[in-house]
Structure 1
Amino acid sequence: MENIGNCKEKGKGKDKIVCKAEWDNPEMTTFFCKIVVEEIHAGNRPLGTLNAKGYKNLWVKFLAQTGKDYTQKQLKNRWDNLETLYTFWESLWTDSGLGRNTELGTVTASDQWWEKNMKGTMQREKKALKYGPPICLQEMEFMFEKSHVSGLSACIPGEGGGDSIPNEDEGDGDIEETGGDQFTSATSTRS
């Protein structure tokens, strides 16, 4: 592959030029997030990410607004990186031992804490969260709020989550005291 600036020739006959995606300009992220929100409103995110139609529309609109001809993989990588950033932002507000300045929308932590937690991808963007929320926070909340895993909760499909009536054969799960402050189910079989 021959390098052409930040671009490389790809494909069987090297007939396609793919340029490195550059997200340093905050406007690129703003365009990206606003278009993604439009596509979600249009019903093009049936599950956790955009479907093929949503990505095609994102590509067309992003190219029209920015002049950047990014591939679907590059756009998907940005989606994944923003989800990582959003999850990190959310964890800042739930981790214990950190100070919060709700007026400024910042988290206060020691330099050592930031150094320890800057590992991995997106270090520059994570470090910027010392000074305020990420750009496009509202859009990211809409993009990821109900579709990302934060580690705060988990469920098993078909288990719990509804008002169920216990089956007589299963027992009613009465709680009985077994001594001290410890409680167990009356139907448990502990050894």
Structure 2
Amino acid sequence: MSKKNSNFTTTENVASGSRKLSALWNAQTTAIFIDLCIKEVDLGNRPGTHFNKVGWARLVTNISKEIGRPYEKLQLKNKWDLLKKEWKLWKDLKGKETGLGWNVAKNTVDASEEWWQDKIKAEPKYARFQFEGISPEMEEKLDMMFLNVTATGKHSWAPSSGVLPVESDDDVNQLEVNGD
């Protein structure tokens, strides 16, 4: 049995008599979650691909306070993982394309039908973005969350790929050596 309100479904386990609130994410709660995640990233509470114990504890406390309902770490981790998956797919779709605009009416990339069909043929999951993508503002926030800790394949190479690509000056960190 479940009962719904604007942000949660209450799931009752009749056999055990327990009740659990299942999060329902909407645009507002997702935006709050993302802003809180960025704060934790800025505080250094994401040392790797996920938050440390302090970061998760602060997220659970702060989002529960902001939304006015309890959240559990697992619910937040699942949302984090889903956002990362969507962000990676979006980045892969856009790739190194140049000249793509933003269609405000469609809320997605402004590209020809042929471009979309080629992309969807290569990866059917791209179809979800044809009529609603990730806005430039949201993409910037997701970049802050995931860019420096997620493998996107941008700099990957395998021997079967052929010649090793030449790195540009932008991709190489320059080191200064003192003669002392």
What TM-score do you get using the length of structure 2 for normalisation? 0.65
Task: Looking at secondary structure, tell me which structure has more helix per residue.
Answer: 2
CA contact (8 A) 2:101 2:110 kept: yes
Per-residue CA deviation, residues 43-71 of structure 1 (Å, 9 max, x unaligned), is: 21111111121111111111111123222
User: Is residue 101 of structure 1 aligned with residue 105 of structure 2?
Assistant: no
1:154 alignment partner, SS class: coil
Deviation at 1:153, TM superposition (A): 2.5
Q: Which of residues 147, 150, 153 in structure 2 aligns to 1:148?
A: 150
Aligned counterpart in structure 2 of residue 9 of structure 1, from 5, 12, 15: 12
The reply to whether residue 119 of structure 1 matches residue 118 of structure 2 is: no
1:3/1:9 contact within 8 Å kept: yes
Aligned residues: CA RMSD:
3.6
Deviations 1:107-144 (A, max 9, x none): 41536457654539x94x77411xx6265322211101
| AA at the equivalent of 1:51 | N
State the secondary structure of the residue aligned to 1:136: helix
CA contact (8 A) 2:60 2:73 kept: yes
Per-residue deviation, 1:103: 8.6
Deviates more, 1:85-94 or 1:36-45: 85-94
Deviation of the 1:83 alpha carbon = 0.8
TM-score, length-scaled by structure 1: 0.62
User: CA, structure 1 residues 14+152, in 2 after alignment: closer, same or farther (shift >3 Å)?
Assistant: farther
Counterpart of 2:12 in structure 1: which amino acid? E
Identity percentage of aligned residues: 21
Displacement of 1:95: 5.9
Any runs of at least 4 consecutive aligned residues in structure 1 with deviations exceeding 4 A, and if so which?
A: 102-105, 113-118
Distance 1:112 1:60, change over 3 A: same
Q: Which of 126, 132, 139 in structure 2 is aligned with 1:128? A: 132
- Establish whether residue 82 from structure 1 lines up as the match of residue 80 from structure 2: no
State the 1:146 CA deviation.
0.7
- Pairing of 1:150-189 with structure 2 (within 5 A): 150-154=152-156
- Counterpart of 2:42 in structure 1 is 41
Structure 2 CA distance for partners of 1:99 and 1:33, relative to 1, 3 Å = same
Computing the radius of gyration from Cα coordinates, the structure with the larger value is: 1
Aligned in 2, Cα 1:83/1:71: closer, same or farther, shift over 3 Å? Answer: same
Runs of 5+ unmatched residues, structure 1: 156-160, 164-191
- Count residues in correspondence: 151
